[in-house]
Amino acid sequence: MSAYGYAKLAATCLIRLVRGLGHPAVVLRIFNPIGPGTPPTLLPGRLAAEIRRAADHGGRARLGSLDGARDFVDVRDIADAVLAAATAPAPLPPVLNIGSGHATELRDLAILAAALAGTAVPEETADPPPRRSAAALRQRADVTAARRDLAWRPRRSLTDSLRDMGLATVGAG
């Protein structure tokens, strides 16, 4: 429904074409990355930046709409999935979902992040969700094939991811 979505579809089609020519290739469909280095262009990075800003300058973090739920997966678990796919001994299916397998309410993510940081829960503004996110308010990956074909599963919790983004130390100073 967007240029972003069309680009992902085009990349998937390209990988399928390469597979059709006999080359081993797989699409790892990455759901919502979270963890150290998450940029502020993604909700977890924006959440962490806002909580840090509020802690440094006083006041309360502010975020746009927290409607919906997403399947968050730690960036280090994503790296583990990439390594597993690159070293898999058997041919893989054309597409594997890489996520946690759980939908987390965005408001719950904000509450958890604030609790870890020792700050107030972020204030939700009336800003609508980004167009890219509004098209699918709820996401959850079916990771059955990744578990089966890569012997992979996510190992890090949301608490681990947020803590390693530095949120556990924000309110401590």
Q: Which amino acid is at 153?
A: R
Q: What is the DSSP letter of 143?
A: -
CB 62 within 8 A of CB 50: yes
| pLDDT computed for residue 5 by the predictor | 84
Average predicted confidence (pLDDT) for the chain: 90
Structure tokens at 38: 């998450």
Angle at 98 (CA atoms; ends 165, 71), nearest 5 degrees: 60
| pLDDT computed for residue 132 by the predictor | 53
At residue 50, does pLDDT exceed 80? Answer: yes
CATH superfamily of 3-172: NAD(P)-binding Rossmann-like Domain (3.40.50.720)
Q: What is the mean pLDDT of residues 50-72?
A: 91
Q: What is the mean pLDDT of residues 112-126?
A: 90
